[in-house]
Structure 1
Amino acid sequence: MSNEQDEVIAFLSRPSAYDTSNQPVERIETHGSVIFLHADRAYKLKRAVAFAELDFLSLQSRKKACRAELWLNRRTAPTLYLRVSSINRQADGQLVLDGQGPAVDWLVVMRRFAQDGLFDRMAVQGHLTEPMMQQLGIEIARFHACARITPSFGRIPDLYQEIEKNYREMSRYCAFLDSAQVISIAHASRKLLASLTACLEERRSQGRVRRCHGDLRLANICLFDGQPTLFDGIEFSERIACIDVLYDLAFVLMDLQHHGLNTLGAGLLTTYINHCTWKEDCEPLALFLSLRAATRCFSFAGAAQRHADPTTRHEKRQKSILLMQQALGYLHGENPLLNHLALTETAAYT
């Protein structure tokens, strides 16, 4: 991160950057951004960093990413995402928000919401309900129906690439992940994908690959103005976000199951299917769920490696092990969601 961005972060950490009320500023940091919470607003700064899929090193790239984030996330959260703001350097050298002088950085400005309204926290606290899942299923189905069709993405080689990436990343953590299970996940995933090739290509030709959310886990859903709201969708990579709609949905379904909320996951899936504008048979769902679980597995494993605190490191390692087992279970037919659907369909015909 640049020295100039260090100056920007210090500036945004002071209440005087926003107004004269002297209300405290809270800060949330992720690998790609820093969010400043002040009064009833949240200000999201893109870090000047570059990773495999993300490059925010230049000022122009951060400006472009802020504008893309605003536009894309207004599809699902139009009243949450407000505007893009600039941080300018005045003639006297001082920084100012939306002022005169050259822009030194850019922000996405959002309405602030209660952190207890995040669905990952609500899942842990036992506050998610069946009516919320019904509302969420309707909203995701609406969003997918309106999303732009992107037929040049979501091809079979793209999915093979995901399988190999998951295998490569999980293999880095075989000090605590079972190497035999990691190999088994990769082998079974390749085999299942090969059997689904015709199905997936037909889905792509039918317009099921669209500009989706791309990171639709519980942490990126909140209760806002009383409604389940999708936010923080992927803006920096079309490859990640232009996917089969069922692959998009699979992330939140997998996440609910990881929290032991199988009934809520089944309710969400049933509602989604009932409100789709096309007939959804869920044939590739097991593969998609496994891919999502494997991705979260190596994400938690990497987080465990980075943590100095032994307790936190142990907790994240345990989560990664459970996610590895979850990924393998989907590939071996252990799927309560599909079992629920089968029972529902059987009941409908008796």
Structure 2
Amino acid sequence: MSDQEQEEVIAFLSRAASYGAPDGRVERIDTHGSLVFLHGARAYKLKRAVAYAALDYRRLDSRELACRAELRLNRRTAPDLYLEVRSINRGPDGALRFDGAGPVLDWVVVMRRFPQAALFDNLAVAGHLTDALVDRLGAKIARFHAGAELTPQFGGPEAVRLVIEENHRELCRYPELLDPAAVNALHRAALAALEAQAAELDRRRREGRVRRCHGDLRLANVCLLDGQPTPFDGIEFSDRLSCIDVLHDLAFLLLDLQHHGLDALATRLLQSYLAHAGEPEDCRPLPLFLSLRAATRSFTLACSAGRQRDPALSADKARQARSLLERAAACLRGDGLP
């Protein structure tokens, strides 16, 4: 598929008439690997024809497979949110339409639309995250993990080592924002923590604690749907990123709550998760997993800071990146844990 053809698909999805409406507004949300078009009560998610380190959506068949995998995997936690996969075809008259008989130009995942205010990161900022919501979220994640597919071929100490090294490489790319001495100190501390936890991590892998998880379980990927906390937008494009220790999966949410200054809710989420877990959970690796998530978030924000045109927004993201780098080190010292 040419870039021009995907631009044609984007133009099609940007018009209200494409959805059978004579007029009306189509909103668009751009993400790293997708474009989401909002119209009426539905959201239509198009995979960008791009390639990054962890994904390659340049081929039409790869985008179809990714759409179908996204639908299948995310229905585990959000069956009422993920509706179907639809094709976009070129008709005999040259016009584009959904589910037509002509050649397929692209594929979209169709979802129920929800207000942005329902996202848990926005609820956190607004001060609307409650004990009850966090309790229900912890229980839901525990049940999800208990039923998730076992993936013992992934995880363990070597998988964690790969994350540590990847984090270090990425953090080193931003010496103007992130103190190189602090980055190198974090790398040494993470490797030392890994050595201390290696046997435990391997035991957890062998005993079924590495599963096909969500993979990107942060507040921005949880919404309030029909009154229920609903994780969505799990990773479908990389087994390495989604087939991880269940505590590594949970750690992103715990870190995110702490980053929003909601330490008490982070503690409550962990307590709810442990209370509803299918078996007793040993949390000794949790500080390492929290540190890994903080380091990953740090370099992501550092990258985002460099792309911002608004100086104030860039400065805020840089501040958050430095704060998360400090938190990554603090987690390994045992400071400020849930």
TM-score (norm 1): 0.95
Q: Which residue of 2 aligns with 1:25?
A: 26
1:115-172: CA deviation from partner (whole Å, max 9, x where unpaired): 1000011111111011001000000000000000000000311111110111111111
Aligned to 2:260: 259
Q: Partner residue of 1:249?
A: 250
Structure-to-structure mapping, 1:178-327, within 5 angstroms: 178-327=179-328
Whether contact under 8 Å (2:331, 2:337) holds in the other structure is no
**DSSP 3-state at the match of 1:196:** helix
Counterpart of 2:14 in structure 1 is 13
2:86 corresponding residue in structure 1: 85
- Cα offset for 1:181? 1.1
Counterpart amino acid of 1:330? C
Contact 2:156 2:204 in 1 (8 A): no
Count of paired positions: 337
Distance in 2 (alpha carbons) for counterparts of 1:308 and 1:2? 26
- Asked if the contact 2:88/2:100 (under 8 Å) is kept, the reply is yes
Query: Which residue identity does 1:300 align to in structure 2?
Result: L
CA contact (8 A) 1:305 1:313 kept: yes
Matched residues in 1 for 2:217 and 2:157: separation?
21
Give, in angstroms, the shift of residue 335 of structure 1: 2.8
What is residue 108 of structure 2 aligned with on the other side?
Answer: 107
Q: What do the CA deviations read for 1:231-279 (whole angstroms, capped 9, x no partner)?
A: 0000000000000000000000000000000000000000100111111
Tell me the CA shift for residue 21 of structure 1.
4.5
Letter of the 2:301 counterpart: F
| 1:273 match: secondary structure | helix
- Distance in 2, matches of 1:99 and 1:253, equals 45
Partner Cα distance (1:21, 1:331) in 2: 57
Q: Post-superposition shift, 1:23?
A: 2.2
Q: Secondary structure at the match of 1:24?
A: coil
User: Cα distance, 1:333 vs. partner?
Assistant: 1.3
More displaced 10-residue stretch of structure 1: 135-144 or 17-26? 17-26
How far does the alpha carbon of each residue in 1:68-111 deviate from its partner, in whole angstroms, 9 at most, with x for none? 00000000000100000000000111100122211100000000
SS in 2 for 1:336: coil
Question: Cα distance, 1:312 vs. partner?
Answer: 1.2
For residue 119 of structure 2, what is the aligned residue in structure 1? Answer: 118
Mark the runs of 5 or more structure 1 residues left unpaired by the alignment.
338-350
Moved more, 265-274 or 156-165: 156-165
Q: Counterparts in 2 of 1:326-341, with a 5 A limit?
A: 326-337=327-338
Q: Is the 8 Å Cα contact of residues 287 and 337 (structure 2) preserved in structure 1?
A: no
> What amino acid sits opposite 1:78 in the alignment?
P
CA contact (8 A) 1:286 1:335 kept: no
Q: Report the Cα offset of residue 179 of structure 1.
A: 1.3
Residue 197 of structure 1 aligns to which amino acid in structure 2? A
Distance (Å, rounded) in 2 between the aligned partners of 1:20 and 1:329: 53
TM-score (norm 2): 0.98
Partner-residue secondary structure (3-state), 1:236: coil
CA distance in 2, matches of 1:278, 1:48: 42
| Structure 1 stretches of at least 4 aligned residues deviating more than 4 Å after TM superposition | none
Counterparts of 2:200 and 2:64, CA distance in 1: 39
For the aligned residue pairs, the C-alpha RMSD in angstroms reads: 0.8
Q: Deviations over 1:168-201 (max 9, x none)?
A: 1111111121111111111000000000011111
CA distance in 2, matches of 1:327, 1:277: 29
Map 1:61-80 to 2 at 5 A: 61-80=62-81
Deviation at 1:281, TM superposition (A): 2.0
Once residues 268 and 21 of structure 1 are traced to their aligned partners in structure 2, the CA distance between those partners, rounded to angstroms, is 46
Q: Equivalents in 2 of 1:336, 1:144: separation in Å?
A: 22
Deviations 1:292-347 (A, max 9, x none): 0000000000001111221111111011011111111101110331xxxxxxxxxx
Amino acid at match of 1:153: F
Matched, 1:45 2:23: no
Q: Which runs of 5+ in 2 are unaligned?
A: none
Aligned 8 A contact 2:119 2:221 in 1: yes
